[in-house]
Structure 1
Amino acid sequence: MMPNKEVTYSISELADEFDITPRTLRHYEELGLLMPRRKGNSRIYSHKDRIRLALTIRGKRLGFSLAEMRELFDLYDAEHRSRPQLHSMVAMIAEKRASLQQQQEDIEKVLAELDAADIKARETLEKMKHH
C-alpha cells in the first residue's frame, strides 16, 4: 500500500494557477485566509489552502469583502460551533444571497432594456435602408 502523500503547492504554483501575485497570497495569509506551513523561507500550501483561495477569489467576485470571507472561514472552522455562530453564519449568507438576487434582478432589467434598444435600433436601420 502506498503512503498517503498530501498534495501541496508552492506560492508560485498557486499564484500562476489563479493568475494572482505572490504578494496577494502573502496578504491573504496575513489576513488569516490561508495558513501555509513553512519550510525554511518557503511557504507550503495545502489542498485546503487551495480550496480557500478559490473560494476567496470567487467570494470577491460576488461582492464579499476579505473580512467577510475570513469571518465565514472562522465560522466554518469552529470546532465546537455554537448556536450564535451558526445563526451569524446563516444571517451573513442570507444577507449576501439577498444582495446577489437584487443584483441579478437589476442585471436582468438592464439586459431587457438593452435588448429593446437593440431591436428598435435595428428596426430603424432596416427602415433607413428602404428609404
Structure 2
Amino acid sequence: MGPTYTIAELAREFDITARAIRFYEDQGLLSPMREGQGGRNRVYTPRDRTRLKLTLRGKRLGLTLSEIKSIIDMYESPKDTVAQINRFLGVLSHQRDTLEQQRADIEMSLAEIAVHEEECRRLLAEAGADGNVEPQERSAA
C-alpha cells in the first residue's frame, strides 16, 4: 500500500488545520481508512494526500469544493475523457473571467485610492506650518 499519513502529518505538511481536513472528508474529497479503538484514528494514503494537494490547489484557483471534487473524480475515472476535459476547460474559463473582473475592480479601486492620497498630500502641503487644513469647496464629482 505504501506510506500512510496521520491527520497531524498532513495538517503540518500543507499548513492547514486538522479541522479543515475533516471538513474535506465530510465533503467526500478524502476517504481515509479508520484504525484503532472504534475506528477513531484516520489513516491517509498517498491517494488521499494527492487529493488534498489538488483540493488546496483548486481552492487557490478560486474553485468551489463541488467543482474541485468533480475535477478530482474525473482524473480518477477517465470514462468519457474528452467531455470531462471540455467541462474542466469550461470551469477554468469561467474562473478566469471571474478573476479578470476582480482584477479590473481592484485596478479601479487602486486608482481611486491614488486620487484620494494625492488630495490628502495637497491639503497637507497647503496647511504648511500652521497645521490648519481647510478643504476647498469642490463641486460634487
- Provide structure 1 residue ranges, at least 5 long, that are not aligned to the other structure: none
Q: 1:111 to 1:37 in 2, by over 3 A?
A: same
For residue 34 of structure 2, give the secondary structure of its aligned residue in structure 1. Answer: strand
Q: 1:44 to 1:94 in 2, by over 3 A?
A: same
Q: 1:25 to 1:121 in 2, by over 3 A?
A: same
> Cα deviations across residues 37-65 of structure 1 (Å, max 9, x unaligned)?
33332212234433433443453354322
Contact 1:75 / 1:89 at 8 angstroms: preserved in 2?
Answer: no
CA distance, structure 1, for counterparts of residue 127 and residue 47 of structure 2: 61
Moved over 6 A (4+): none
Q: 1:19 to 1:87 in 2, by over 3 A?
A: closer
Q: How does 1:41-52 map to 2 (within 5 A)?
A: 41=39, 42-52=41-51
Paired letter, 2:22: R
For residue 95 of structure 1, give the secondary structure of its aligned residue in structure 2. Answer: helix
- Provide structure 2 residue ranges, at least 5 long, that are not aligned to the other structure: 131-141
Higher CA-based Rg: 2
Deviation at 1:108, TM superposition (A): 1.6
CA distance, structure 2, for counterparts of residue 38 and residue 58 of structure 1: 26
1:14 maps to 2:13: no
Deviation at 1:34, TM superposition (A): 1.6
Contact 1:62 / 1:100 at 8 angstroms: preserved in 2?
Answer: no
Question: Counterpart of 1:126?
Answer: 125
Deviation at 1:79, TM superposition (A): 3.1
Question: Counterpart of 1:111?
Answer: 110
Q: Greater relative contact order (Cα 8 A, min sep 6): structure 1 or 2? A: 1
Q: 1:106 to 1:19 in 2, by over 3 A?
A: same
CA distance, structure 2, for counterparts of residue 95 and residue 69 of structure 1: 14
Contact 2:54 / 2:72 at 8 angstroms: preserved in 1?
Answer: no
Identity %: 38
RMSD over aligned Cα atoms: 2.4
| Stretch of structure 1 that moved more, 88-97 or 53-62 | 53-62
Normalised TM-score (structure 2): 0.71
CA distance, structure 1, for counterparts of residue 9 and residue 58 of structure 2: 21
Question: Counterpart of 1:23?
Answer: 19
Aligned residues: 125
Question: Counterpart of 1:38?
Answer: 34
